[in-house]
Structure formats: C-alpha cells, structure tokens
Amino acid sequence: MIAARRISVLGATGSVGLATLDLIERAEPGRFEVVALTANRNAAALASLAIQHRARFVAIGDPAAAQDLREALSSHPEIEIGIGADAIVEAARRPADWTMAAIVGAAGLKPTLAALRQGRALAFANKECLVCAGALFMREAAACGTRLLPVDSEHNAVFQVFDFERPEAIRAITLTASGGPFRTWSLDRMRSARREDALAHPTWEMGAKITIDSATMMNKGLEIIEACWLFDLTPDRVEVVVHPQSIVHGMVEYEDGSVLAQLGSPDMRTPIASALAWPQRMRAPVERLRLSDIARLDFETPDDVRFPALRLARAVIAAGGPAPAVFNAANEIAVAGFLKGRIGFLDIAASVEEVLERSLVDAGMPKTVGSFDDVYAIDARSRELARDLIDTSATLRARTP
C-alpha cells in the first residue's frame, strides 16, 4: 500500500486553502493525511476544518482569536493548538510531503520560507513572497532540493506546457488576464469606482485582496515578477494578454512557432489539483470545458493608461534591489486603504508609484537585498511610507490621473 501524502495548508481558511481542502476531502480515502492547518483570525472555520480533516496541529496568528479556537476544539484534545505568528511558522515546519503556501501577502514570508526549508514539495499560491524575495527564495529552494509547484492558474498553466529539458527552445511565455471588472470602464468612471464594484470579479471567486489586485491589474504585475523567478525568464519574455473569458490560462511560445497553451474552466481547483497530485493527475470536480458552448475567445492588449500596474511592475523588475518588495508592500497598504474607504480606486496605483519614488530617497530604506532580514526591513519601512502617504493624501490626489 502507498503511504498517504502528508499535507499542510498555510492559509487554510482562505479561498485557495478551502479549495485545497475540498479536493483532499473528495480524494480517495488514504491518499492524503492532513498535518497542519493555519489561519489568522477565523477560529471557527479553522477549528471545523481541523476536526473534519483530523489535522494534528492548528495555528492561529491573532492571539485575540486564541480563546475561541481553544473553546471550539475543547472536545478534541488530540489536535494540538499553537497561537501567534511563531506558531504559524511552527506549523510550516511540521514534517509534511507537500505544503500549500496560501497565506495572503508578505505575512506569508516567514511561514512559506519555513515550509520551503523542509526540502519537499511546496505549492506556491502566495505570489507576494516571490515578488518580495524572489532571488532568495529560488536560491533557498535549490539549496534545499525543494520542488516548487506554481498554483496561480497562469503559472500553473505555463508549468504544464513548459519544456524544462529545453528552455533554450522557448521564445516567450504569455500570462492571460481577465481584465477584471473595469476592463471596459472609462478612466473617468473608474475614478469613482466603489468597493463593491471592484470586488465584483467577472470570472474568478477569490479573496478580497487578490480581487482588488485583479481590478487594478496589480495582480498581473505581481505575476510578471513571479513568472520571471519561477521560469528563469527576463521580463521581456513574459507577455500579458487580456482574455475576458478566462479559459486560456497561460501559453508557451517555442522558437519553431508552436504555441502550447493550457485551457480549463475558471476554477482554482484545476491548478490546485494539478499541484496536489503532481507528477500524477487527480480528479477535480470542475465544470468540463465545452468550447462550443463558449463559442468565442477574445484577446486584447492591456491598456497601460487605465491600468498602470503592468508598467510599474516592469519598472520595478528593471530597478531590482528593494523595488519589488517596496512595490508589494505599498500595494498591500493601498488595497487595505481602498477597502476601508480611505482612498479612491485610482489612488491605489498612484500611491504605489509615489511610495516607489519616495523609497529611492528615503534614508531609512535598506538599499540592497542580501538576506531575508533585509526583505523584512524593506517591507516594514515601505508600509510606513505608504501609511504616511495615505494619512496625508493631498500628494496622492495631485498625482491621480
């Protein structure tokens, strides 16, 4: 009998975490065994997932949620409980064959790194980690013999059709973008876009942060950077095309003119299943793709004026050093500011650009990225700059188009 694959899910209560656990629940008995699950605040959901999947260890980040978690698991003494950010890192260290890194944002850096250091398989959903510390993560993965399995649908698509034996035969890759809810909106209309407009994604159901990132196309900017690291490509070989139906997820163009693509219904359980079963395949309960029902597939060039995120992302890759981590942190703070109603929709990209500029002349900003400690320091300092900017948002208003 084949031993069960030991699985941990970091960010178990989120959209990707829940989709991962849904696949595990539906798999044949004995195929997977859950080691550790983590969340930040949602004690009730974490406890019920832990009971349902017979997890051995659960960790919650926010100490204010500790009491709720303990009460919810009071009749399950077999489930060990950890509290606080260090406990999440501890969960990531528990021996597992496969870990899903699905914490949102740079908060996932330390736990993802701890999971990566196990030297097993790491399913990478948390793109922000690669954006902040791509060179360090890739070096560490190589040193530890870790197999990185891309989970973002576009990167997973490229991973499935990328000839790793012959990378020299690859001309470029293409990531598709749905274009988000504002694909057809004018700049004027986008200026007054509300929270609920931005959260109404046309094709994907996801957590709030990535949904806003899709509306600004920051998500695609982050993904260009992620793709450069995962596939060892220069940014000029990572192309983006808007594809509103979200059926073609990614493509690889070879030097003989062949373009290999991966297609599927827009359901994260396909890329997650592909990573979960890798190098095998497993059944996923997704709607079958019927191209004749879809009838047409459209492709458009992204609009850099209404969506400056792609231009900013390419600029930060060219700048290197701390710029990608500054870009990510400034975006996280701006998205949180927009969700709280503190800034307008167009202010998100404007504030990221302003923080990037301020970071260049900021005495408190580390100038190089030699270690993970540098990344944590850049992230912390960039958040301060971004919060200051939002608190005194006159400059911001001046630069919003």
Q: Strand 170-177: give its sheet, edge to edge.
A: 238-242, 170-177, 248-254, 259-263
Binding residues among 60-79 for ligand NAP as defined by CB under 6 A: 61
126 has binding-site annotation: yes
Q: Count residues near ligand NAP (CB under 6 A).
A: 29
Nearest distance from residue 187's CB to ligand NAP, in Å? Answer: 26
Among all chains, which residue has been given the structure tokens 């990132």?
A: 213
Contact 384, 327 (CB under 8 A): no
Note whether 218 binds ligand NAP by CB under 6 A: no
223 has binding-site annotation: yes
Nearest distance from residue 171's CB to ligand NAP, in Å? Answer: 26
**Choice from 113, 132, 190, 268 touching ligand NAP (CB under 6 A):** 268
Only one of the segments 40-48, 171-179, 253-261, 381-389 lies at the binding site for ligand NAP (rule: CB under 6 A); that segment is 40-48
Q: Give the residue with the Cβ less far from ligand NAP, 375 or 396.
A: 375
**Choice from 80, 152, 347, 354 touching ligand NAP (CB under 6 A):** 152
Burial 362-388 (b: 16+ CB within 10 A, else e): beebbeebeebebbbbbbebbbebbee
Alpha-carbon distance 143 to 137, whole Å?
10
Amino acid, single-letter form, for residue 128: E
Q: Please choose, from the candidates 136, 97, 98, 145, the residue with its C-alpha nearest in 3D space to the C-alpha of residue 117.
A: 145
Collapse the DSSP code of 41 into the 3-class scheme (helix H, G, I; strand E, B; otherwise coil) and give the result.
Answer: coil
Nearest distance from residue 38's CB to ligand NAP, in Å? Answer: 6
Note whether 207 binds ligand NAP by CB under 6 A: yes
Instruction: Name beta bridge partners: 262.
Output: 250
Note whether 202 binds ligand NAP by CB under 6 A: no
Note whether 39 binds ligand NAP by CB under 6 A: yes
Instruction: Name beta bridge partners: 170.
Output: 254
How many other C-beta atoms can be found within 10 angstroms of the C-beta atom of residue 291?
10
Nearest distance from residue 311's CB to ligand NAP, in Å? Answer: 20
Q: What sign results for the dihedral spanned by CA atoms 294, 300, 302, 306?
A: negative
184 has binding-site annotation: no
Alpha-carbon distance 72 to 220, whole Å?
39
Note whether 126 binds ligand NAP by CB under 6 A: yes
For 38, the enclosing helix (H) or strand (E) is: strand 32-39
Note whether 13 binds ligand NAP by CB under 6 A: yes
Q: Give the residue with the Cβ less far from ligand NAP, 120 or 269.
A: 269
**Choice from 103, 157, 242, 309 touching ligand NAP (CB under 6 A):** 103
152 has binding-site annotation: yes
Output phi, psi for 176, to 5 deg.
Answer: -95, 155
Q: Give the residue with the Cβ less far from ligand NAP, 206 or 352.
A: 206
Alpha-carbon distance 364 to 366, whole Å?
7
Q: In the complex, which residues of this chain contact ligand NAP (CB under 6 A)?
A: 11-17, 39-42, 61, 88, 102-104, 107, 125-128, 152, 204, 206-210, 268
Q: Which residues are annotated as a binding site?
A: 13-16, 41-42, 126-128, 152-154, 178, 201, 207, 214, 219-220, 223
Q: Which residues are annotated as a binding site for Mn(2+)?
A: 152, 154, 223
